Amino acid sequence: MLSITSKRLCFRANPEKPAAAKALENLRAFAATRCTVVDGVDVAGSRPDRVVVIGGDGTLIGVARSMGRDQVPLIGVNVGKLGFLTEFSVDEVRRNFDEAVGNDSLISKRMVLDVAVFRGGQSLRAFLAINDCVIQAGPPFRIIHLGMSVDGEPLTDLDGDGVIVSTPIGSTAHSLSAGGPIMQPGVEAIILTPMNPHSLTHKPLVIERDSVIEVEAMGVNAGTTLIIDGQVSCPLQKGDCVRIKRFDTEVLVVRNPVHSVWHKLVTKLHWGRRPESETAGM
């Protein structure tokens, strides 16, 4: 039996979800009887052993990004819709609480991205991307022209709606919708997925983890934007360069011990399900 009395736990919840507030109250009270509950606002200062994140995948992504290099294992509790990263339901986290808090073998390391924007050769902004970074055309929605290189070697010029550069975590998010591959979370690589390219030859690429990708905005619209995890944005101008590489710290996610790594892919996205006939169930 795991002893977790010395463990320190803090909680973060999505304030816009009423179900998250209810779950927060429930789980905080439950946790306080088993370990030490500390302040969840200043995670680095509170020095917790785990952070319980209550909401959906977007909530967990926002919390992970806010922690920067001071990553702490995250226990994601889903009160949203899909819940790929928030692997636990409220009931599941209660039933498996001691394991989730005390069993370090359940901690999964997830590769994420360091994204920097340069303008006129000078660093403009820097971001941590958990799921992906997207360069998207924007108003007036004409085709944009991007020049892409890998490790300083020219790769291609892309005319289209933009490009998605994704982590393995983000392979089931925007990249998947644009035709990108599905990757196991533990695979360390970078996915480059063109968005509606004006070409029959631009296909998604899987690039080794230590590569440095540079995307130059060679021809853009007034509304062309760099979007990080669908949550943070940065307008781009002609001549801007976006440099993307592996972040030097990994995000830590606590796996649900009762589900396989493919559980959500099969049960939520119905991967591999055979087509049903019109007469099925009749």
Q: Which residues are catalytic?
A: 57
Taking the CA atoms of the chain, what radius of gyration do you get in angstroms? 21
Q: Which two tokens stand for residue 152?
A: 């300083």
* Cβ contacts of 153 within 8 Å, gap of 6 or more: none
CB atoms within 10 A of CB 24: 23
**Are 5 and 34 in contact, with CB atoms under 8 Å apart?**
yes
Burial label for 256, CB within 10 Å (0-12, 13-18, 19+), is buried
